[in-house]
Chain A
Amino acid sequence: MIHKKVETVNEALEGIQSGMTLMLGGFGLCGIPENLISALAQSSFENFTCISANVGVDDFGLGLLFGAKKIKKMYGSYVGENQEFERQLLSGEIEVSLVPMGTLAEKCRAAQMGIPAFYTPAGFGTEVALEKELRDFNGKTYLLETAFQSDFSLVKAWKGDEAGNLIFRGTARNFNPLMCGASSVTVAEVEELVPAGELDPNQIHTPGIFVDRIFQGKLYEKRIERRTTQNP
């Protein structure tokens, strides 16, 4: 067994530097690496380029990094719920590249899987297609999109073992498995870290080969962005 467990979030983030490109898992506030985000927000590092589906809310999730002015460039897809982000965007403090969500997912997966580029129809005829190579296949036009290049992937899983194997829960899976192994270093925080052998290999979503460091996360808040119930 190749041992991936580290004890602390600081150990997990060893080697991170200002100006690096980071992938962060999660959709909204669902399945975000809470411990890693908090540690980055409190660190002295800054000027990150971040890749994530959304931008959190003002006081949680990726919003903590915008609040601490840690991000200079953002690749995201849906950014509607964070006023501080919107302020920084409209005032030109941050650079933002909006990417169709399926393309964003595939740019992560391509990086993970060693595919430098791929064709997708998403964005044809829109400003997303500007300056991109177009090619027709079977009578339909596609754009060439390239894999992300990134230094650290920061993901969150439900369960993991010391070998780095991961299991996700519900829709907290989202972008997390796609970002594993898509950067030079992949760090996973988990709600429950168990010794190797305790997870059923049949149930593993992400094999440990895609994960470099794994640690037991603490004090999960798992905040709900839009609590919606029947007959409220």
Chain B
Amino acid sequence: MPLTKNQIAQRIAQELQSGFYVNLGIGIPTLVANHVPKEMAVEFQSENGILGVGPFPEAGKEDPDLVNAGKQTITPLPGSSYFDSAVSFGMIRGKHIDLTVLGAMEVSETGDIANWKVPGKLVKGMGGAMDLVASSENIIVAMIHTDSKGASKLLKKCTLPLTGVRCVKRIVTHLAVLDVVEGGFLLKERAPGVSVDEIQLATEGRLVVPKFVPEMIF
């Protein structure tokens, strides 16, 4: 069975390590925060200016001065701090963030990523994504393997305007976990019950398939 969006987030949460400062992008990445093991000490940064992002507030306790980068109301956890946007991106540019998780429209087999613009159709802007991918050393992309028409989003070469080049290290899709290596997408894990052939069919870029590809364990 291919993973749900929530399961993609759950699988990515397994990449967290105690002591990590983590930036989560909008969409599937935001869900990763729901799957942090209780004993693990991680802090989430939102680039609009908070470290220590906590859960959504209870109804009636929303504070308009407290939002995340997706403009959703949030609460701060004990140990939180607020700061301006230059300091926030200093944390990112200065490599103080240990893990970046973001969504993508396309990823190439050399680790290029496109996620901010579809020419003539959709212009959302890059927001903080270009700063994040240009500076982070540990970038995981969370995405559905194919688009709504079934076309692969893991490509030889991105067709959309790029957000960054040679920066993606790992991709978790609803079908597989893949690493970007010399030679293409290295297939690390399959979603439970999904075959290598299915993943191959959904991947336009070069897929490197080891002899044994384990299923993801939850």
Which A residues fall within an 8 A CB radius of B? 27-31, 53, 76-81, 86, 89-90, 96, 98, 100-106, 108-109, 120-128, 158, 168-178, 205, 222-230, 232
Contact = CB atoms under 8 A, between A and B. Distances in A.
18 contacts: A28-B48, A30-B65, A53-B85, A77-B127, A98-B116, A100-B134, A102-B85, A102-B92, A102-B93, A102-B130, A109-B86, A120-B134, A121-B93, A125-B162, A170-B50, A171-B49, A225-B71, A228-B62
B84 interface: yes
B126 A98 contact: yes
Interface in B12-43: none
Given A101-B47, A102-B131, A128-B130, A226 B72 contact: yes
Given A102-B92, A171-B48, A174-B85, A229 B57 contact: yes
Which of B62, B84, B161 has most chain A Cβ within 10 Å? Answer: B84
**Considering the complex of A and B, which 7 residue pairs feature the smallest CB-CB distances, nearest first?**
A102-B89, A125-B165, A102-B131, A170-B65, A78-B127, A100-B130, A228-B72
B67 A101 contact: no
Interface of B: 46-50, 55-59, 61-68, 70-74, 82-86, 88-89, 92-93, 112, 116, 120, 123-131, 134-135, 161-166
A230 to B, nearest CB: 5
Contacts of B161: 126-127
B89 A101 contact: yes
Contacts, number: 179
B70 A226 contact: yes
A77 B125 contact: yes
A31 B66 CA distance: 10
A171 B59 contact: no
Given A125-B165, A126-B164, A222-B64, A101 B128 contact: yes
A89 B123 contact: yes
B66 to A, nearest CB: 4
Given A101-B127, A123-B134, A230-B55, A173 B62 contact: no
A30 B67 contact: yes
Which of B56, B66, B85 has most chain A Cβ within 10 Å? Answer: B85
A227 B66 CA distance: 11
B124 A122 contact: no
B62 A229 contact: yes
Contact of A174 (B48, B59, B124, B125): B48
Contact of B64 (A89, A108, A121, A223): A223
Contacts of A77: 125-128
A232 B59 CA distance: 7
B128 A100 contact: yes
A169 B65 contact: yes
A228 B86 CA distance: 26
